[in-house]
Amino acid sequence: MVQANLSSRCRVRNHESAQEFSKGGLIKTAFISRLVVTAIVSSGVALVEPQSSAASHLSHKQANRLINTARTSQDHLELARYFRHEAQRNRDKQAHYLETAWNYRLHRPRVDMYRNVSTSDAYRHWADEARRLALADEQLAAVHEQMALQLLQGK
Protein backbone atom coordinates (compact mmCIF):
# COMPACT_ATOMS: atom_id res chain seq x y z
CA MET A 1 0.00 0.00 0.00
CA VAL A 2 2.87 2.35 0.76
CA GLN A 3 4.46 1.54 -2.58
CA ALA A 4 1.23 2.21 -4.45
CA ASN A 5 0.87 5.56 -2.69
CA LEU A 6 4.46 6.55 -3.56
CA SER A 7 4.09 5.60 -7.18
CA SER A 8 0.86 7.56 -7.52
CA ARG A 9 2.60 10.61 -5.98
CA CYS A 10 5.43 10.26 -8.49
CA ARG A 11 2.93 10.09 -11.32
CA VAL A 12 1.19 13.23 -10.05
CA ARG A 13 4.50 15.06 -9.74
CA ASN A 14 5.59 13.90 -13.17
CA HIS A 15 2.25 14.99 -14.61
CA GLU A 16 2.51 18.40 -12.92
CA SER A 17 6.07 18.92 -14.10
CA ALA A 18 5.06 17.88 -17.62
CA GLN A 19 2.31 20.51 -17.59
CA GLU A 20 4.73 23.14 -16.29
CA PHE A 21 7.26 22.11 -18.91
CA SER A 22 4.71 22.31 -21.69
CA LYS A 23 3.61 25.78 -20.54
CA GLY A 24 7.23 26.88 -20.22
CA GLY A 25 8.02 25.20 -23.50
CA LEU A 26 5.25 27.16 -25.24
CA ILE A 27 6.48 30.41 -23.74
CA LYS A 28 10.06 29.62 -24.69
CA THR A 29 9.00 28.61 -28.22
CA ALA A 30 7.03 31.84 -28.66
CA PHE A 31 9.93 33.89 -27.31
CA ILE A 32 12.48 32.17 -29.55
CA SER A 33 10.17 32.56 -32.55
CA ARG A 34 9.91 36.29 -31.90
CA LEU A 35 13.69 36.52 -31.55
CA VAL A 36 14.21 34.74 -34.86
CA VAL A 37 11.69 36.96 -36.66
CA THR A 38 13.29 40.08 -35.17
CA ALA A 39 16.75 38.90 -36.21
CA ILE A 40 15.59 38.17 -39.76
CA VAL A 41 13.89 41.54 -40.11
CA SER A 42 16.81 43.48 -38.65
CA SER A 43 19.34 41.66 -40.83
CA GLY A 44 17.19 42.43 -43.87
CA VAL A 45 17.16 46.11 -42.93
CA ALA A 46 20.92 46.03 -42.34
CA LEU A 47 21.46 44.53 -45.78
CA VAL A 48 19.32 47.18 -47.47
CA GLU A 49 20.89 50.20 -45.72
CA PRO A 50 24.55 49.73 -46.70
CA GLN A 51 23.61 49.33 -50.35
CA SER A 52 21.90 52.71 -50.42
CA SER A 53 24.81 54.46 -48.68
CA ALA A 54 27.45 52.51 -50.64
CA ALA A 55 25.89 53.60 -53.93
CA SER A 56 27.57 57.00 -53.55
CA HIS A 57 31.04 55.42 -53.10
CA LEU A 58 33.08 53.84 -55.85
CA SER A 59 34.17 50.26 -55.62
CA HIS A 60 37.88 49.43 -55.93
CA LYS A 61 37.35 48.16 -59.47
CA GLN A 62 35.40 51.28 -60.49
CA ALA A 63 38.08 53.51 -58.97
CA ASN A 64 40.83 51.73 -60.91
CA ARG A 65 38.87 52.16 -64.11
CA LEU A 66 38.19 55.83 -63.36
CA ILE A 67 41.87 56.49 -62.59
CA ASN A 68 42.72 55.46 -66.15
CA THR A 69 39.81 57.25 -67.82
CA ALA A 70 39.27 60.42 -65.73
CA ARG A 71 38.83 63.41 -68.05
CA THR A 72 36.45 65.82 -66.34
CA SER A 73 36.65 67.68 -63.05
CA GLN A 74 33.67 65.64 -61.84
CA ASP A 75 35.65 62.42 -62.38
CA HIS A 76 38.58 63.76 -60.38
CA LEU A 77 36.30 64.95 -57.58
CA GLU A 78 34.74 61.48 -57.50
CA LEU A 79 38.21 59.97 -57.19
CA ALA A 80 39.13 62.44 -54.45
CA ARG A 81 35.99 61.42 -52.56
CA TYR A 82 36.96 57.75 -52.99
CA PHE A 83 40.49 58.35 -51.68
CA ARG A 84 39.19 60.34 -48.69
CA HIS A 85 36.86 57.44 -47.89
CA GLU A 86 39.76 54.96 -48.14
CA ALA A 87 41.91 57.18 -45.92
CA GLN A 88 39.18 57.21 -43.28
CA ARG A 89 38.85 53.43 -43.53
CA ASN A 90 42.61 53.09 -42.99
CA ARG A 91 42.53 55.46 -40.01
CA ASP A 92 39.78 53.29 -38.49
CA LYS A 93 41.96 50.23 -39.08
CA GLN A 94 44.87 51.99 -37.41
CA ALA A 95 42.78 52.78 -34.34
CA HIS A 96 41.59 49.19 -34.14
CA TYR A 97 45.14 47.82 -34.47
CA LEU A 98 46.47 50.19 -31.81
CA GLU A 99 43.71 49.19 -29.40
CA THR A 100 44.38 45.51 -30.06
CA ALA A 101 48.14 46.05 -29.60
CA TRP A 102 47.48 47.72 -26.26
CA ASN A 103 45.28 44.81 -25.15
CA TYR A 104 47.93 42.28 -26.15
CA ARG A 105 50.58 44.32 -24.35
CA LEU A 106 48.54 44.19 -21.14
CA HIS A 107 47.54 40.53 -21.54
CA ARG A 108 50.34 38.72 -23.33
CA PRO A 109 49.29 35.51 -25.06
CA ARG A 110 51.19 32.35 -24.31
CA VAL A 111 52.38 32.12 -27.91
CA ASP A 112 54.60 35.19 -27.34
CA MET A 113 56.95 33.06 -25.24
CA TYR A 114 58.34 31.22 -28.25
CA ARG A 115 57.90 33.79 -31.03
CA ASN A 116 60.51 36.22 -32.28
CA VAL A 117 58.02 39.10 -32.52
CA SER A 118 55.33 39.65 -29.92
CA THR A 119 51.70 39.88 -30.95
CA SER A 120 51.58 43.44 -29.63
CA ASP A 121 54.51 44.45 -31.85
CA ALA A 122 52.87 42.86 -34.88
CA TYR A 123 49.68 44.87 -34.31
CA ARG A 124 51.71 48.07 -33.83
CA HIS A 125 53.45 47.35 -37.15
CA TRP A 126 50.08 46.89 -38.87
CA ALA A 127 48.85 50.14 -37.31
CA ASP A 128 51.89 51.96 -38.75
CA GLU A 129 51.15 50.47 -42.17
CA ALA A 130 47.52 51.59 -41.95
CA ARG A 131 48.66 55.11 -40.96
CA ARG A 132 51.03 55.26 -43.95
CA LEU A 133 48.26 54.08 -46.27
CA ALA A 134 45.89 56.72 -44.87
CA LEU A 135 48.48 59.46 -45.48
CA ALA A 136 49.05 58.22 -49.04
CA ASP A 137 45.28 58.18 -49.69
CA GLU A 138 44.98 61.72 -48.34
CA GLN A 139 47.75 62.84 -50.70
CA LEU A 140 46.04 61.16 -53.65
CA ALA A 141 42.77 62.87 -52.74
CA ALA A 142 44.53 66.25 -52.61
CA VAL A 143 46.15 65.63 -56.01
CA HIS A 144 42.81 64.73 -57.59
CA GLU A 145 41.13 67.78 -56.04
CA GLN A 146 43.92 69.93 -57.44
CA MET A 147 43.48 68.35 -60.89
CA ALA A 148 39.72 69.00 -60.74
CA LEU A 149 40.40 72.63 -59.80
CA GLN A 150 42.82 73.03 -62.71
CA LEU A 151 40.26 71.57 -65.11
CA LEU A 152 37.60 73.97 -63.81
CA GLN A 153 39.94 76.97 -64.16
CA GLY A 154 40.99 75.89 -67.65
CA LYS A 155 37.41 76.17 -68.98
> What would the pLDDT profile of 115-141 be if each residue is shown by its tens digit?
888 999 999 999 999 999 999 999 999
Give the predicted TM-score (pTM) of the model.
Answer: 0.61
**Is the pLDDT higher at 1 or at 153?**
153
Whether 44 has a pLDDT exceeding 80, the answer reads no
Confidence of residue 103 (pLDDT cuts 50, 70, 90): very high
Confidence of residue 57 (pLDDT cuts 50, 70, 90): confident
3-state secondary structure string across 76-138: HHHHHHHHHHHHHHHHHHHHHHHHHHHHHHHCCCHHHHHCCCCHHHHHHHHHHHHHHHHHHHH
Range of weakest confidence among 102-106, 107-111, 139-143: 107-111
Whether 7 has a pLDDT exceeding 90, the answer reads no
pLDDT at 142: 96
Stretch 60-68: mean pLDDT, rounded?
Answer: 92
Percentage of residues in the chain having pLDDT higher than 90: 52
Confidence of residue 53 (pLDDT cuts 50, 70, 90): very low
How far is Cα 155 from Cα 46, in angstroms, rounded to an integer?
43
Whether 52 has a pLDDT exceeding 50, the answer reads no
The answer to whether 118 and 94 have CB atoms below 8 angstroms apart is no
Whether 41 has a pLDDT exceeding 90, the answer reads no
Q: pLDDT digits over 69-79, tens only?
A: 999 999 999 99
